[in-house]
Amino acid sequence: MLAEKRVRDLPDVVALALEVVRAGSAKTYRFVFVDEAQDLDLQSVRLAAALAPEQRDGLTLVGDGQQSLYAGGYTLKEAGISVVGRSTVLDVNYRNTRQILAAAAELVRADDFDDLEDLAESGSRHMTALRDGGKVLEVTAVDPASALVALVARLQHDLALGLEPADAAVLCRTRGEASAARRALVEAGLDVLALEDYDGSSVTAIKVGTVKRAKGLEFRRVYLPRVDSYQLEDGSADRELALRERRELFVGMTRARDGLWMCRVRSASRPDPAFGELQSPDRGAGSPADPVNG
């Protein structure tokens, strides 16, 4: 049907590009560097290798399987790339404080992962954070509206204490949740920029968008208003989905350099007594900026 309509999707385009390069009809390079390699598919990795055909060390892949957001299902060996004796593990974390890294690592500690090699690695791998400090605050809301009230209150609290809007990001699982967060912040009079409109230039606004859109970025403080949106339990019918969901939340948490705030909407069937309860707006929002009681 795609052929009849003369339409190609992205995998088609990558496959065609690979054919062109292998046929010698495209420019090649001495060196090709690929970041976030764990999120490429097999044909894309083959294309990257084909672009640097002559230099033995012409291809450099940098990636972290623990941060993979998309299904892979292949190894570098299948792509015709051998890294035996030529790979290096980078285990020093320059971004996150120890507290933030520890909280994020705990989420994926029990999940094995792969770095495009044949052997799975333990999720409890060693990582070293060079900085100490920073808070990880978790609160529970009784409903989605309360979560947005808490988000606004927390941001207003932090901004009043000197946080620059440009240093803050609100990250969500879906575009719909990101849109709801943007509306709530705009209604509260805060300056907001959608991450999908962010081009990397300096802005004086709070960035709001999905975790996928924030991949590769970092912020002084990150706010995750709907942690409950993720399917984190292995009891689901699709365990692979739960693994990807945990990795995505791990990515969201590790966008934060110095501060991380997370809110989950309490399930009626699974109340969470560990965190202070937030009241719905029509019953009073309590003290959502309080780091102890939420």
pLDDT tens digits, one per residue of 192-203: 999 999 998 889
The CATH number assigned to the domain holding 173 equals: 3.40.50.300
Q: Give yes or no: residues 150 and 267 share one domain.
A: yes
Residue 41: domain span? 10-92
The model's confidence at residue 91, banded by pLDDT at 50, 70 and 90, is confident
Contact of 174 with 227, CB cutoff 8 Å: no
Q: Are residues 147 and 201 in the same domain?
A: yes
Residues 50 and 127 in one domain: no
Q: Where residue 276 falls among pLDDT bands split at 50, 70, 90?
A: very low
Would residue 263 count as lying in a domain? yes
Residue 244, pLDDT > 70, answer yes
Whether 30 is in a domain gets the answer yes
End-of-domain residue from the set 29, 57, 92: 92
Q: Mean pLDDT for the chain?
A: 83
The pLDDT tens digits of the residues spanning 92-147 come to 888 899 999 999 988 888 766 665 565 555 556 778 888 888 889 999 999 999 99
Backbone angles phi, psi at 265, to 5 degrees: -80, 125
> pLDDT grade, residue 218 (50/70/90)?
very high
Q: Is the dihedral of CA 111, 116, 118, 119 positive or negative?
A: negative
Average pLDDT over residues 39-51: 90
Task: Report residue 292's pLDDT band, with 50, 70 and 90 as the boundaries.
Answer: very low
Whether residues 99 and 87 fall in one domain: no
Q: Point out the domain boundary residue: 92, 121, 140.
A: 92
Question: Is 192 within 8 Å of 182 (Cβ atoms)?
Answer: yes
Side-chain-side CA neighbours of 45 within 13 Å: the count stands at: 23
- The H-assigned helical ranges of the chain are 10-22, 42-50, 98-108, 144-160, 175-187, 239-253
Please check whether residue 290 lies inside any domain of the structure. no
- Could you tell me if 164 and 265 lie in one domain? yes
219 pLDDT higher than 70: yes
Tokens of 64: 């972290």
Q: Are residues 154 and 187 in the same domain?
A: yes
On whether both 124 and 239 belong to a single domain, the answer is yes
Helix or strand (DSSP H, E) at 93: strand 92-97
Given a cut of 50, whether residue 279 has pLDDT beyond it is no
Mark whether 64 and 108 lie in a shared domain.
no
pLDDT at 226: 95
- Judgement on whether residues 106 and 244 belong to the same structural domain of the protein: yes
Q: Which residue has the tokens 């009626």?
A: 268
Phi then psi for residue 146, to 5 deg, are: -65, -35
In which band, very low, low, confident or very high, does the pLDDT at 47 lie, cut at 50, 70 and 90? very high
**Helix (H, G, I), strand (E, B), or coil: what is residue 161?**
coil
pTM of the model: 0.78
Query: Lowest-pLDDT range, 21-25, 221-225, 278-282?
Result: 278-282
38: phi then psi, degrees, rounded to nearest 5: -65, -15
Which runs of E-coded beta strand occur in the chain? 32-34, 59-61, 92-97, 128-131, 135-141, 168-172, 192-194, 206-210, 219-224, 256-265, 277-278
**Same domain assignment for residues 85 and 185:** no
Can you state the angle between helices 42-50 and 10-22, rounded to 10 degrees? 30
d(Cα 110, Cα 122) in Å, to the nearest integer?
A: 7
State pLDDT tens for residues 18-38: 999 999 988 999 999 998 888
Do 111 and 52 share a domain, yes or no?
no
Residue 265 neighbours by CB distance under 10 Å: 19
Q: Which of 149, 192, 186 is nearest to 170 (CA)?
A: 192
Q: What is the pLDDT of residue 196?
A: 93
Number of domains in the chain: 2
The pLDDT of residue 270: 47
Separation of alpha carbons 289 and 11, rounded Å:
46
| 294 three-class SS | coil
Q: Are residues 241 and 275 in the same domain?
A: yes
**Structure tokens of 25?**
């009809």
